[in-house]
With several copies, the nearest count.
Chain A
């Protein structure tokens, strides 16, 4: 399945809902989306991973790249994810220490720090 991306702004935060497969084939589209948002001055991003069916290292790399970009503007990149098989991928690669991971979008919207 291909990647689907839906974005919406909530105050100074932007929620990017991702669906489908984030892999070596589709990750460039996600990268482009994150770059566009940062170029448009959106520095507080919430990536909602609940609709993600497959995630590989290229997808992880794009998320880390997004984090670097928003940090350059004192921004933030939060993830929303409760799927065990996706969380496992963040744990194995040590990225649970890098990304704040929330259970719901509303939790991510009100989170500070």
Chain B
């Protein structure tokens, strides 16, 4: 199974690297050009979210991104290691956003973007961290 794993310290600069790697491997895995912007954005959001979780929890451990190229699909998993996860902010409207704490707002906007952009997405909370899994169709090259 052709696979790429990237682990990086929880720093914003590395989110750019993760985006670049995901888009490059996606393209090479046969994800359509029209979807690459979406991959770049969604992967960036998932990674920013994980970096934010680590930073807010004061964790030094790295964030992990796994890219799986399978026949017909390209799958990205971004995992943080924050045990329970900072609870999801209860932001449900634009008006709430304006009142929210900035970190909560970023987290809420990030998840809104991921779920609005990606058809096949799952946020899987676990006792050892949360995994965001996103899958795109890919024609075999």
Measured CB to CB, the residues of A under 8 A from B are: 23-25, 54, 56-58, 60-61, 64-65, 67-68, 85, 89, 92-95, 97-98
Secondary structure type dominating chain B contacts:
helix
* Alpha-carbon gap, A108 to B134, bound state (A): 38
Secondary structure type dominating chain A contacts:
helix
Interface residues on B, range: 20 to 34
Given contacts A25-B15, A58-B106, A92-B112, contact A98 B48 (CB under 8 A): no
Q: Are B16 and A23 in contact (CB under 8 A)?
A: yes
9 nearest A-B pairs in the assembled complex, by CB-CB distance: A92-B116, A57-B109, A57-B110, A25-B12, A24-B12, A24-B48, A61-B106, A98-B94, A94-B94
With contacts defined as CB atoms under 8 Å apart, how many contacts are there between chain A and chain B in the complex? Answer: 66
* Alpha-carbon gap, A99 to B114, bound state (A): 21
Q: Are A54 and B40 in contact (CB under 8 A)?
A: yes
B102: which A residues are within 8 A, CB to CB? 61, 65
Option from A60, A67, A68 in Cβ contact (under 8 Å) with B109: A60
Q: Are A23 and B37 in contact (CB under 8 A)?
A: no
Q: Are B98 and A56 in contact (CB under 8 A)?
A: no
Answer whether residue B93 sits at the interface, using C-beta atoms and an 8 A cutoff: yes
Interface centre among A24, A65, A94, by most chain B C-beta atoms within 10 angstroms, is: A24
Interface residue ranges of B3-20 to A (CB < 8 Å): 12-13, 15-16
Q: Are B105 and A25 in contact (CB under 8 A)?
A: no
Q: Are A93 and B112 in contact (CB under 8 A)?
A: yes
